[in-house]
């Protein structure tokens, strides 16, 4: 490895090494793919600036890239990238440079001075209540046979609180119908976790596995629990399209998809008395500060509780 690292120079060679290193450290395929895509954006920009070697990057180059990211406008609506998206692109670069510094490919940690955008913690714009979740799930009833598969997907999302990629990567063997659990392999951070689900989810899964999956399955299906129309493992992007379609069809919200159900899982568990540590484990949050977002009471709930409990809530103002 020493000889390989000693010869690393071009940005493309460094990226190849970095991606292999990330995979060797057990990072998930989704994480590695995102890193690769974000860094390719930087490399394309660098090539336009006639920068091809990692040793040519310095703090001034990074600041120029920041300005480019900030000035970019989306082709569809001419709007800038969100501050979160901007931060993601810059974090990908600093993390990459930090790893190259670790291996002595570069010998200066100038990137430590680079200030990243402050994004803060974003609350979900909307979290459906339990009745609205039922309304979303029940939209599958008008979809015929494929609706049986889709209901199983929605039930699994809401019961497990899984992320989109986690559900796409789930295999049949990862669900234990007797113990009412689902094992999520290589979630965010590369960790496995086993979470409880409910009997109605198992019932929906059994309906799908017995009656629909055999019709979809091909030699390329493997052990994937959820299959697309081609018989291959369903894609994460298809899950977004599928869930988002049911959300809009229900009239519950105009936007939102897989993460909407995940937000609902965490929020409803907390509202019904779950300890935040258990919700953290259910959702697979490495940092409990992520789970604490779900514990923030919405203004609607606060107003309802205030009306019921404040001593002056039912009294008229003095004349």
Please write the tens of the pLDDT for every residue from 168-227.
Answer: 999 999 999 999 999 988 666 667 888 999 999 999 999 999 999 999 999 999 999 999
Distance CA 307, CA 131 (A): 22
Backbone angles phi, psi at 197, to 5 degrees: -130, -170
β-bridge partners, 181? 176, 196
Q: What's the angle, vertex CA 63, arms to CA 61 and CA 66, rounded to 5?
A: 115
What's the mean per-residue pLDDT of the chain? 86
Per-residue model confidence as pLDDT tens digits over 100-148:
999 999 999 999 999 988 766 665 667 888 999 999 999 999 999 999 9
Contact 11, 96 (CB under 8 A): no
Cα 122 to chain centroid, rounded: 14
Q: What are phi and psi of 191, to 5 degrees?
A: -95, 150
Query: Which residues, including other chains, have CB under 8 Å from residue 59's CB and lie 6 or more apart?
Result: 110, 111, 113, 114
> In b/e form, how buried is each residue of 14-44, taking b as 16+ CB within 10 angstroms?
bbebbbebbeeeebbebbbeebeebbebbbe
Known catalytic residues? Answer: 163, 188, 259, 262, 285, 294
Quote the pLDDT of residue 75. Answer: 87
- Residue 166 has a CB neighbour count (10 Å cut-off) of 26
Residue 148 · residue 207 · CB < 8 Å:
yes
* pTM of full prediction above 0.75: no
């Amino acid at each position: 490895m020493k000889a390989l690292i000693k010869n690393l120079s071009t940005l493309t060679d460094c990226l190849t090494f970095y991606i292999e290193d990330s995979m060797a450290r057990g990072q998930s395929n989704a994480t590695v793919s995102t890193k690769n895509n974000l860094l390719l954006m930087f490399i394309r920009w660098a090539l336009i600036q006639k920068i091809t070697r990692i040793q040519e990057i310095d703090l001034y180059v990074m600041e120029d890239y920041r300005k480019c990211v900030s000035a970019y406008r989306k082709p569809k609506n001419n709007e800038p990238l969100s501050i979160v998206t901007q931060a993601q692109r810059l974090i990908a670069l600093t993390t990459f440079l930090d790893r190259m510094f670790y291996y002595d490919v570069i010998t200066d940690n100038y990137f430590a001075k680079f200030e990243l955008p402050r994004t803060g913690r974003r609350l979900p714009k909307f979290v459906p209540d339990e009745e609205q979740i039922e309304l979303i799930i029940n939209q599958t009833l008008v979809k015929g046979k494929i609706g049986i598969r889709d209901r199983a997907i929605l039930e699994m999302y809401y019961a497990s609180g899984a992320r989109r990629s986690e559900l796409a990567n789930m295999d049949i063997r990862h669900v234990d119908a007797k113990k009412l659990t689902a094992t999520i392999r290589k979630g965010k951070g590369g960790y496995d976790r086993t979470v409880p689900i409910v009997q109605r989810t198992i019932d929906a899964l059994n309906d799908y596995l017995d009656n629909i999956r055999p019709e979809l399955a091909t030699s390329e299906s493997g052990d994937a629990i959820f299959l697309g129309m081609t018989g291959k493992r369903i894609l994460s992007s298809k899950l977004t399209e599928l869930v988002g379609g049911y959300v809009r069809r229900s009239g519950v919200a105009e936007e939102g998809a897989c993460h909407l159900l995940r937000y609902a899982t965490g929020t409803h568990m907390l509202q019904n008395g779950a300890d935040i540590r258990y919700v953290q484990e259910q959702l697979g949050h490495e940092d409990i500060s992520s789970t604490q977002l779900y514990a923030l009471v919405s203004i609607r709930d606060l107003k309802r509780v205030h009306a019921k409990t404040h001593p002056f809530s039912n009294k008229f103002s003095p004349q």
